[in-house]
């Protein structure tokens, strides 16, 4: 989603969606399915969450700020009875971290009630919103998902079905969207023509399930059916499944950072396992940037998979060298720098017995501003590591993202201003290497037929409106800062 506040762009977020269509709601109560699905997608957003259910055409919902386990109790879930449901977890920046921006959005219009849950970021939302406002629309939230809702409602007036209205609206919005829409009778899943964000379909008996990642299907015992294709709309309704395909050709552009960091290790996206790709990144780094060392360790969680790959390829033993406190959230999705820094201090600790007196290869997934890696390297050296060689399983961040990832402007990206050697020194590392851009296709093992790497390469798969570029000044960017 994109956030609007005043008339300026606000930073972007990474979200998760989950929905279920059932004829009778008997296989698994839809609200409980959503609850379990959202727990599995919690890594995609920890600030707010919500579930909307449809009981024979009547849509009710519950949403609030907080983690899924904090927002939903048994008594709330028991009140959310019905046959169809959709749900959402959200990450946002501090200014927009408010209840009214929580999803699903539920709106009443001339044809009844609609609920929508959106992961992504529209690149023409500003323009569309301005046009809608000129025509008298009043917005309740500051997110671009509401623009989509208005577009669908407007198209529905002249369309024969809700899926036709959603399909028509999709021709007018640009950017990234993996979207679920619930009408009184149907659950509709749509993925943008480039397929920036993941979306997959599963089934439990006769019930149809859609989720941002396959780990959420596993969590509810659903069998994976397939990914929703870029530009595809799938509608689940009383007469079964209907499919519509966007006829406008677009390059497949799945966000490569889903594999590197966002997605859960046990998910499979567009035919490739996330764990497989992360391990491969480690293998490639071992070939690309070898170093003599005694032990390979990974920064939990996503650095561990790459560390295993590096170890397998190099023959240097893998050890658990850093212990993570699992009971606090990901620093990446904490909205303020202060919150992030506090989290780092209580999140990780070095295992002195595994690193003292050793030359360590430390695998991490990315360096953005460069402040966190230095703290981890120092922590290992304080624990007695003789040398620390930092290996990063992604190329350096050099460009902002306009498709829903909260990457700072160029002036805040450490790799824009400093050489690799300088970054190594600033992070107290004895050496540093990033996975090269050329290695990304190999990391994806030829299984991902098209991907976006614009934040590394500067090559954006779609045209970015000048207005969007102009409305992304530094002050509106919350840093992508991990750990």
Using the contact rule CB under 6 A, the part of the chain among 83-91, 253-261, 332-340, 381-389 near ligand SF4 is 253-261
Is 256 a binder of ligand SF4 (CB under 6 A)? yes
Q: Of 106, 122, 109, 112, nearest to 50 (Cα)?
A: 106
Our finding on whether 453 is near ligand SF4 (CB under 6 A) is yes
The residue within the footprint of ligand SF4, chosen from 9, 196, 261, 310 (CB under 6 A), is 196
* Nearest CB to ligand SF4, comparing residues 167 and 196: 196
Tell whether residue 217 is a contact of ligand SF4 (CB under 6 A): no
| Other residues' Cβ atoms within 10 Å of the Cβ of residue 349 | 13
How far apart CA 105 and CA 449 sit, in angstroms, is 33
Q: Identify which range of 220-228, 272-280, 307-315, 397-405 contacts ligand SF4 by CB under 6 A.
A: 397-405
At closest approach, how far in Å is the CB of 257 from ligand SF4?
4
Q: What sign results for the dihedral spanned by CA atoms 61, 133, 127, 334?
A: negative
- Our CB check for ligand SF4 shows the closer of 318 and 403 to be 403
- Contact call for residue 255 and ligand SF4 (CB under 6 A): yes
Q: Choose which of 452, 464, 468, 477 interacts with ligand SF4 (CB under 6 A).
A: 452
User: Judged by CB under 6 A, which of 274, 455, 464, 468 binds ligand SF4?
Assistant: 455
The residue (of 291 and 306) whose beta carbon lies closer to ligand SF4 is 306
Nearer to ligand SF4 by Cβ, of 175 and 298: the residue is 175
Measured CA angle at 187 (ends 185, 189), to 5 deg: 155
Give residues with Cβ within 8 angstroms of 366, minimum separation 6.
257, 260, 261, 392, 393, 394, 397, 480, 482
Question: Which of 122, 307, 443, 454 is the binder for ligand SF4 (CB under 6 A)?
Answer: 454
d(CA 342, CA 365): 20
Q: Phi first, then psi: what are they for 203, rounded to 5°?
A: -145, 150
Q: If binding is defined by CB under 6 A, does position 403 make contact with ligand SF4?
A: yes
Quick one: 156 or 278, whose CB is closer to ligand SF4? 278
- Do residues 296 and 311 make contact, with C-beta atoms less than 8 angstroms apart? yes
* CB nearer ligand SF4, residue 32 or residue 403: 403
Count of positions on this chain that bind ligand SF4 (CB under 6 A): 11
Separation in Å, CA 442 to CA 187, 265, 273, 454: 37, 18, 14, 17
Please identify, using beta-carbon distances, which residue of 118 and 186 lies nearer to ligand SF4.
118
SS3 304: helix
Instruction: Name residue, tokens 């917005």.
Output: 139
Tell me the two tokens of residue 476. Answer: 């509106």
CA distance 465 to 455: 16
What is the distance between the alpha carbons of residues 180 and 241, in angstroms, rounded to a whole number?
A: 14
253: nearest Cα among 197, 212, 214, 201: 197
Q: Do 473 and 409 touch, CB atoms closer than 8 A?
A: yes
Stretch that binds ligand SF4, among 66-74, 294-302, 361-369, 448-456 (CB under 6 A): 448-456
Let me know if 452 is a catalytic residue.
Answer: no
Rule CB under 6 A: is residue 128 a binding residue for ligand SF4? no
Q: Does 15 bind ligand SF4 (CB under 6 A)?
A: no
Which one of residues 401, 413, 448, 464 is an interface residue with ligand SF4 (CB under 6 A)? Answer: 401
**281 contributes a contact to ligand SF4 by CB under 6 A:** no
Q: How many other CB atoms are there within 10 angstroms of residue 267's CB atom? A: 26
Does the footprint of ligand SF4 cover residue 257 (CB under 6 A)? yes
Write down the catalytic residue from 15, 34, 255, 477.
15
188 binds ligand SF4 (CB under 6 A): no
- Piece in contact with ligand SF4 (CB under 6 A), picked from 25-33, 254-262, 425-433, 466-474: 254-262
User: Is position 274 an interface residue for ligand SF4 (rule: CB under 6 A)?
Assistant: no
- Contact between 404 and 197 under an 8 Å Cβ cutoff? The reply is yes
Contact 199, 257 (CB under 8 A): no
Residues near ligand SF4, by CB under 6 A? 196, 255-257, 401, 403, 405, 452-455
Active site residues: 15
């Amino acid at each position: 989603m994109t956030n609007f506040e005043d008339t300026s762009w606000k930073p972007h977020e990474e979200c998760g969606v989950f929905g279920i269509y059932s004829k009778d709601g008997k296989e698994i109560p839809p609200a409980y399915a959503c609850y379990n699905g959202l727990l599995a997608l919690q890594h995609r957003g920890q600030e707010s969450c919500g579930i909307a259910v449809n009981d024979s055409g009547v849509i009710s919902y519950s949403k609030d700020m907080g983690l899924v386990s904090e927002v939903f109790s048994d008594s709330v879930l028991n009140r959310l009875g019905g046959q169809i449901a959709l749900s959402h977890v959200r990450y946002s920046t501090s200014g927009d971290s408010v209840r009214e921006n929580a999803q699903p959005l539920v709106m009443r219009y001339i044809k009844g009630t609609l609920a929508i849950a959106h992961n992504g970021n529209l690149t023409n939302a500003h323009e569309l919103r301005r046009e809608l406002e000129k025509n008298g629309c009043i917005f309740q939230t500051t997110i671009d998902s509401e623009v989509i809702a208005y577009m669908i409602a407007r198209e529905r007036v002249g369309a024969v079905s809700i899926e036709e209205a959603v399909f028509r609206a999709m021709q007018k919005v640009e950017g990234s969207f993996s979207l679920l829409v619930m009408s009184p009778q149907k659950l509709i899943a749509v993925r943008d023509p480039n397929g920036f964000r993941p979306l997959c379909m599963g089934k439990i008996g006769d019930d149809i399930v859609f989720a941002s990642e396959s780990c959420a299907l596993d969590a509810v015992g659903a069998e994976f059916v397939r990914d929703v294709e870029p530009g595809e709309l799938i509608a689940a309704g009383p007469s079964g499944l209907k499919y519509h395909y966007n006829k406008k050709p677009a390059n497949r552009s799945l966000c490569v950072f889903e594999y590197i960091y966002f997605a859960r290790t046990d998910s499979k996206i567009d035919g490739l396992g996330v764990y497989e790709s992360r391990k491969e990144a480690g293998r490639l780094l071992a070939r690309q940037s070898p170093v003599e060392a005694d032990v390979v360790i990974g920064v939990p969680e996503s650095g561990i998979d790459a560390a295993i790959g590096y170890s397998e390829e190099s023959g240097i033993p893998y050890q658990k060298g850093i212990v993570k406190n699992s009971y606090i959230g990901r620093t990446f999705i904490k909205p303020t720098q202060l919150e992030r820094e506090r989290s780092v201090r209580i999140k990780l600790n070095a295992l002195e017995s595994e690193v003292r007196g050793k030359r360590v290869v430390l695998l991490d997934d990315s360096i953005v501003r460069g402040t966190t890696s230095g703290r981890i390297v120092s922590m290992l050296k304080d624990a007695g590591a003789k040398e620390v060689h930092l290996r990063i399983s992604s190329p350096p961040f050099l460009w902002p993202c306009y498709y829903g990832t909260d990457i700072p402007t160029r002036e805040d990206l450490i790799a824009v201003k400093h050489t690799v050697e300088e970054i190594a020194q600033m992070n107290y590392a004895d050496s540093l290497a990033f996975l090269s851009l050329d290695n990304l296709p190999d990391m994806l093992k030829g299984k991902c037929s098209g991907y976006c790497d614009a934040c590394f390469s500067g090559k954006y798969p779609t045209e970015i409106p000048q207005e969007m570029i102009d409305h992304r000044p530094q002050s509106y960017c919350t840093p992508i800062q991990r750990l």
